[in-house]
Amino acid sequence: MLVDLAGGWNPMLGRLAWSQIPYDNPILAPLFVAVVIGTIIILGLITYYGKWTYLWKEWLTTVDHKKLGVMYIILGLVMLFRGFIDGLMIRTQQAWAVGTHSSGVFGATHGYLTPFHFGQVYSAHGLIMILLAATPLLVGFMNIIVPIQIGARDMAYPYLNALGLWITAAAGALIMISLFVGDFAHNGWFGYAPIFELQYSPGVGVDYWIWTMELVALGTTLGGINILATIIKMRAPGMSWGRLPIFVWASLSANVIALTSFPALQVALGLVAADRYLGAHFFTAGLGGNLMLYTNLFWIWGHPEVYFVILPAFGMMSEIFPTFSEKPLFGYITMVLASLAIAGVSWLVWLHHFFTMGAGPYVNSAFSVATMLVGIPTGVKVFNWAFTMYRGRLTFNAAMLWAIGALFLLLIGGLTGMMLAVPAINYMVHNSVFVVAHFHSMLLVIVYAIFASVIYWFPKVFGFKLDEFWAKTMFWLFSAGTTLVFVPMYMLGFMGMTRRLDYVFNTAWHPYLLVMEFGIVVYMISVLAFFALLYVSIRDHAKNRVGTDAWGTSRSLEWLTHSPVPFYNFAVLPHISTRDEVAWRRDNGIDHVQPDHYEDIHMPNNTGVAIILGGLTFVLGFALVWRIWWLCILSLLAIMALVIYRSFKGDPGYIITAAELEEMEKDAMRREAQIGKQHYRVGGGVLGDAIAYERSDLPPLASQPGSSVGLDHRS
Amino acid sequence: MSHGHDDPTLHPEVQISTSRGYFLGFAISSILMLVATFLVTSHAVPPFGLLMVISACAGIAIMAQIYFLLHIDISEHNIWNTVALVLFIPLFLITIGLTWWMFSQLYLHTMIMPGMPGMMH
Ligand code: HEM
Ligand SMILES: [Cu+2]
């Protein structure tokens, strides 16, 4: 052993011992029982209905970008729920443990969580929400939508795509298991030197934190490479850069950020690991180390990361506003430039997270100015959205409501960000809950955009719409929760309440904390509304089926193919003639034109390698946390062997013949034709056709490459 | 789709890679790493010299990796490699340069370091 470990170590089990299982913890033990029972029920149900083969064949081994995207989103939603429960626990502790007279239970002097446990909860909350909820949700959407929007059949590297998902899932599993085996870090989601050094945090919590983050970073980098390569190489004929849907541009700029910044995180954490495992001194005060160097390295990644998550959200909003304003996006070029500018500036501002380090006036003012520069492209975007809606034919359905909510939160978050960017103000409010309120406003922009997109793209992926009533109910409840939690938080920030308090000494803050507790209860109800939304929508799915263009006013390429999207995406790759291809085709009455003949398609095979590699990375992470060296070496060797094996084996793929394709297409069209009839009976025929046939002055339809009017399935 | 064939090993980016190149790149970076580690642990060189030597080692290792492992060059075939370089070099300068600047300013304000004006007092 290179370092001294508190509490034994043995070659077989490393640091693992019975005493590490918190079976006597009054919160965790019942939870553990519930989780075990839940798992048994789920596994039992799968076995009972004989779904194992289906699950393995259709989902666990799939390389289909849409299914992988759906699994990313499910992972993200599950982690969002876990993070939400953490948030509920934090709020409850702070509403309870106020003032010297507050009671305490479960071994805590005040409230119900001991300081050490509270520290773990807030660290896990932050890490989960940013890296295991927001990031997978966004990656999931990029995964599903980007290839369809550029007219590709799959990602550039389908197998790598699966690998990215399963490594991310391994990270999620690692942080979940830290609940029941050992404990989690108490050093905040971004960590502080030197408290995460072994002397000050001798447990395994920090190790869980390191390896969870390393795994997400790895998974997300792989995903980023894939999306970039897909956008660069796989565009359909005619899809020039100037015609790319705006969400694709947003994904492109976001993933450039991911690709360049995640390595910095991996290095930073690698050095922390060197300190903790090898006895190095990168971030200690002694032997030439430097504490602030950690903070520096972390935020070199950390700030770009916040833009990595907001840019796809901006992209989503840029798709939703035009659709429900029935107008093209205002200022396409400026929107693209703004995305790239935001990505560019995001590398230049990281010091604003530690203005108080004391680098002096020159450094602080330079970074202050750089930070404020971000306001320009962001402002451009906000005005573009506003002008898109200006004099548009607005439909305030649930997706639109969520998107507008995101816009309001962006305004609040952006302006408070500008305030924080002024060093003089920052010295006053740094490490106060004002900062917490700022970045929650920003991250809620993402959450709002994600729920907007869930509603907006759900019919594309599953073929039916979500229930409007419950989607709107959820929106209003969620927004009430947001207001009730974060308005008091801004106020408390100005009153000087610092972040991460496990005990609140100032009783004057109690009313605000109680309002926030009430707010989180309202959030809880909105989560229930979400479950109701899913239940009702799935129950009524037959009523809510949609055709190709679910909203009737959609603009970009994903709405050209069937809903649900067939696994090959497009039977014949579309030729792109303009930006907003679908809107153009609809306006010219050629949106239902079908190809006159089909050709063979080459598709990738499913593979079990990716999920096995994911499992092995989880084992590796677990072994590293507990310092079970033999298991580390074994899993690492297995990973290498499997990667090499797969690289040499390759994947020849398989062929869908033209005849099979035609059969499947006919089926899809038959299904769609039925929906069409239902739809027009119910909807009174306002959608689609009225707009589609307006222009009779256009060239005959047969000029469209590879298509003829004869097969129009609507007629 | 500028290369109209399905065999990925025929792509020019893949063609320029050889196993000799990979081993050479791996060997060079490992040796440089070992040298740097040895110099640090043995305290053979005074601090400032050590800093210089390690930085030089790191610089050479980066070059070797870019050339031998990533095959990034500025040839016509690999235009996207050039794009990657155009992105990488400014970022490299930004992260290293700004870090250097902010920490030298920090030391100026908080620490008395050998060789800095603070020593005079
Ligand atoms: C208009 C653009 C923005 C500006 C000017 C800005 C400014 C700042 C500043 C100065 C801080 C440091 C506060 C402190 O610790 O004293 C900060 C913190 C933070 N911001 Fe922003 N921000 C902006 C946009 C965003 C976005 C888009 C996100 C994420 C989606 C975000 C997420 C965060 C997070 C997570 C933190 C705090 C991290 C932590 O301390 O745990 N910000 N912001
Ligand atoms: Cu920042």
A448-461 pLDDT tens trace:
999 999 999 999 99
A374-405 pLDDT tens trace:
999 999 999 999 999 998 889 899 999 999 99
Q: Which residues does residue A656 pair with via DSSP β-bridges, in sequence order?
A: A601
A565-599 pLDDT tens trace:
989 988 888 888 888 888 888 888 887 777 888 88
pLDDT value, residue A712? 39
Residues B59 and B93 in one domain: no
Mean pLDDT to the nearest integer, A407-422: 94
Residues B60 and B30 in one domain: yes
Any domain includes B83? yes
d(CA A298, CA A276): 17
**All residues with CB under 5 Å from ion ligand 2:** A 303
Residue B4 pLDDT class (50, 70, 90 cuts) = very low
Contact B91 A260 (CB under 8 A): yes
Any domain includes B118? no
Between A141 and B51, name the one with better pLDDT. Answer: A141
Has residue A358 got a pLDDT over 80?
yes
Residue A148 pLDDT class (50, 70, 90 cuts) = very high
List of residues 6+ apart from A450 with CB closer than 8 A: A134, A137, A138, A141, A313, A316
Has residue A685 got a pLDDT over 90?
no
d(CA A26, CA A188): 23
Any domain includes B116? no
Mean pLDDT to the nearest integer, A477-481: 96
Tokens 């507050």 correspond to A102
Any domain includes B34? yes
pLDDT value, residue A553? 87
What one-character DSSP code corresponds to residue A14?
B
Residues B15 and B60 in one domain: yes
Has residue A611 got a pLDDT over 60?
yes
Residues B92 and B64 in one domain: no
Task: Specify whether the CB–CB gap between A656 and A604 falls below 8 A.
Answer: no
pLDDT value, residue A520? 95
Give me chain A's average pLDDT, please.
88
Within 8 A of B110 by CB-CB distance, chain A residues are: 358
d(CA A113, CA A93): 7
| 3-class secondary structure per residue, A152-167 | CCCCCCHHHHHHHHHH
Residue A1 pLDDT class (50, 70, 90 cuts) = low
Q: Which of A130-139, A376-385, A485-494, B43-52 has the lowest mean pLDDT?
A: B43-52
Residues B59 and B30 in one domain: yes
Residues B18 and B57 in one domain: yes
Dihedral sign for Cα atoms in the order A521, A523, A528, A532: positive
Query: Does A586 sit in the ligand 1 pocket, CB within 6 Å?
Result: no
Contact B95 A292 (CB under 8 A): no
Residue A235 sits at the vertex; the CA angle it makes with A168 and A334, to the nearest 5 degrees, is 90
Count of structural domains, chain B = 2
Residues B86 and B67 in one domain: no
Range of the domain at B97: 76-110
Q: Which of B26, B105, B108 to mutate to test the interface with A (most CBs of A within 10 A)?
A: B105
| Phi (first) and psi of residue A662, to 5 degrees | -60, -40
ipTM for the whole complex:
0.83
B47-67 pLDDT tens trace:
888 888 999 999 999 889 888
Any domain includes B1? no
Residues B28 and B65 in one domain: yes
Residues B67 and B18 in one domain: yes
Q: What is the pTM of this model?
A: 0.90
Distance A349 CA to ligand 2 centre (A): 7
**Domains of chain A and any CATH numbers:** 51-559+603-607 (1.20.210.10)
Any domain includes B54? yes
A293-332 pLDDT tens trace:
999 999 999 999 999 999 999 999 999 999 999 989 999 9
